[in-house]
Chains A and B, each alone.
Chain A
């Protein structure tokens, strides 16, 4: 008998597959405009981009996954203790171009529309020196911590 290692994350794949088969329910009804899941609004409205935040002694470093989002459509604002990221992912021009009329999507997992994230910052930052750039669909934000809150090295003098 083969021993298969227990994989606690396999359940995630199973859930994903269940949702995929749930989408197949749409195919029971052969109306192009009728989508079972859309009636629950699961594929409409606001979505939330995945975000990582790391820190060192001087700053917070944030990465946000915003693939296919035009940098012009992103708005970032920061106060000393909250970072806000707003934007919209528009359906790429030509994405549907030539899409066969009356054909449903074979698979539709990508979210479009407005997104909005509010991130509380554990330690106050300097909102005047926040830096943001975008590369390969990832938004990189650097938020320097307030000078007086940075840990200071104290030299021990020998008396």
Chain B
């Protein structure tokens, strides 16, 4: 289904903006279709609202942000498995979805985005009037 195909952005094909090009990780995401919307769930543990930016532009929904790093001045690492720094994911939104009505909420480290379908496209039940 093409309704929510993610655009795989290869870092190598993007021009290097600065010498120290930042690497973005791709947070785990589940996407599924509801009767009248599409729902995106994304794992963003430790990300506060202030460090998260969601934007829509020309058919692309971009979720970008960062999370705080450990204070390595004061502490020494023993095990490191969690991602540090920036994350980014881009989703293509086609015209069957109403991008003007995108809603997002962040709860317990999980970002939930609901994109309603364009109303005219939704199946409508037509009542038969009796004369």
Contacts and interface: CB of A to CB of B under 8 A. Distances in A.
Interface size class of B (residues with CB under 8 A): 35 or more
B32 to A, nearest CB: 5
Contacts of A92: 41, 110
A102 B34 CA distance: 11
Q: Is the interface of B mostly helix, strand, loop or mixed?
A: loop
Chain A binding surface, main DSSP class = loop
B30 A109 contact: yes
Interface of B: 1, 3-4, 6, 8, 10-13, 15-16, 21, 23, 26, 28-38, 41, 43-48, 70, 74-83, 106, 108-110
Q: Which 9 A-B pairs have the closest CB atoms?
A: A137-B109, A67-B109, A137-B45, A54-B75, A106-B31, A138-B46, A67-B45, A65-B45, A109-B28
19 contacts: A2-B15, A7-B11, A13-B8, A20-B6, A50-B82, A51-B79, A56-B74, A60-B78, A65-B45, A67-B110, A68-B43, A92-B41, A98-B37, A106-B31, A106-B32, A106-B38, A110-B28, A136-B106, A138-B46
